[in-house]
Amino acid sequence: MEIKLAKRMESFSSSIFSELAQHKSKLLAEGKTIIDLSIGSPDLPPPDFVKETIHSLSMNNNQYGYSLAGTKEFHNAVGSYYKKNYQVDLNPETEVLQLMGSQDGLVHLPMVLANPGDIILVPDPGYTAYATGIAMAGATPYFMPLKKENKFMPDFANIPEEIAHKATLMILNFPGNPIPAMATKEMFQAAIHFAKTYNIIILHDFAYSELYYSDDKPISFLSLPGSKEVGIEMNSLSKSYNMAGCRIAYATGNANIIAALQQLKSNLDYGIFFPIQSAATLALQQGSEFNERTRSIYKNRRDCLIAGLNEIGWNIEAPQAGMFVWAELPKGWTSKHFAFELMNRAGVAVTPGIAFGPSGEGYVRIALVQNEETLQQAIHTISKSGMISSK
């Protein structure tokens, strides 16, 4: 029998990530050691009280029914968290929506807001889930290049007016993946003005909000005047509380957009396991000290990696936030060739920038997901590989 796939599957062909995974498996089968800095999955555990809550409540037989939606306690905790951290007032009943991980919302929102052929403005380079959501909606991406010379901020003035008139949604992500740049109030103000001018909805992906390394914490999009008129913000407990496998996140902001996304989700899923919701509620309420410890660990890793790579001649700017280093390549390399050769010659896996969009060429993404001892070993093997010129 011939199995015919839908045409939309053409948008989900094997990616560079699949190629990297296959190559890593091949090298491991040959007995080589690989230090994997390519995947942004936290290697640290969640708070003890999160694990204890899930364990305790999972023994209760009444916890195993369909939750259908976020609990009142979880929604209230999100509202309190935003008030405490960003001085943003949210109505927990109409301006908060629980998600099964932020990728759930990122992929589904374009299907709520865009018709086939509509344009969605997307950061370039940007998180790969954005492309997935755009493809599922049958929409067309328009890349907003994030360039070093513009401090990796989008330049709205360079978006052609005919594109702006056809756009229904703009996606922003600060601190970002793969680029851990910090947004400015001026950029968000410009985005809101642009959105109002052309009737475009803004989605701000704020998944790395708690990972920052100075006194200047990341800015919530919703803290800007006029933001709720034009958009929403999505945040996750995956990175902030190391709860990636729990798959719990939330969307906040414009009540009409929240209601529309909720309408779609009510037809797709049956909610999140109650013990996970309870644990996430506690994390939002009591996790500030845990966040501080986590930031300290990532900061030490960042400093270790940046100092070590600079010492061997790979000069990289230290990120001020996020869990990634966006590393500009030595001259003469494409990002894909560099990533594969680094695995071959140094046993270190990183992600080529081209995997995140055309403007990612010339960079690789390095994830801070190994301890300092392992990072030191990675620096040593990179130095021995001969791929980086010595000072």
pLDDT in tens, 90-101: 999 999 999 999
pLDDT at 13: 65
List C-alpha distances in Å: 292 to 147, 207, 226, 296, 321.
31, 16, 31, 6, 13
Q: Check residue 18 and give its pLDDT.
A: 85
Select the CATH number that applies to the domain covering 62-286 from these four: 3.30.930.10, 3.40.50.1110, 3.40.640.10, 3.40.50.720: 3.40.640.10
Q: How high is the mean pLDDT of the chain? A: 95
User: Could you tell me the CA-to-CA distances from 8 to 106, 139, 169, 253 in Å, in that order?
Assistant: 18, 11, 20, 31
Q: Is 347 left (phi over 0), alpha (psi -120 to 50) or beta?
A: left
Distance CA 381, CA 344 (A): 11
pLDDT in tens, 244-266: 999 999 999 999 999 999 999 99
Question: Cα–Cα distance between 209 and 217 in angstroms, integer?
Answer: 8
**pLDDT of 372:** 97
Neighbours of 149 (CB within 10 A): 5
Give the Cα separation of 255 and 323 in Å (integer).
Answer: 31
DSSP state of 365: E
pLDDT of residue 391: 43
pLDDT of residue 152: 97
As annotated, the residues of the chain forming the CATH 3.90.1150.10 domain(s) are 7-45+289-385
7-45+289-385 CATH, one of 2.160.10.10, 3.40.50.720, 3.90.1150.10, 1.20.58.340:
3.90.1150.10
Q: Which residues contact 365 (CB under 8 A, 6 or more apart)?
A: 38, 177, 178, 324, 325, 326, 327, 350, 351, 353, 356
Give the integer Cα–Cα distance in Å for 152 and 345.
31
Residues of the chain with pLDDT under 50: 391
Helix, strand, coil percent values for the chain (each to nearest 5): 50, 15, 35
pLDDT at residue 367, rounded to an integer: 97
Nearest to 171 by CA among 196, 198, 206: 206
Question: How many Å is the Cα radius of gyration of the chain?
Answer: 21
Residue 16: what pLDDT?
Answer: 82
- CA–CA separation, 47 vs 325, rounded Å? 25
Taking the alpha carbons at both ends of the chain, their separation in whole angstroms is 61
All CATH 3.40.640.10 domain ranges in the chain, comma separated: 62-286
CA distance 128 to 125: 9
Contact call for residues 352 and 16 (beta carbons, < 8 A): yes
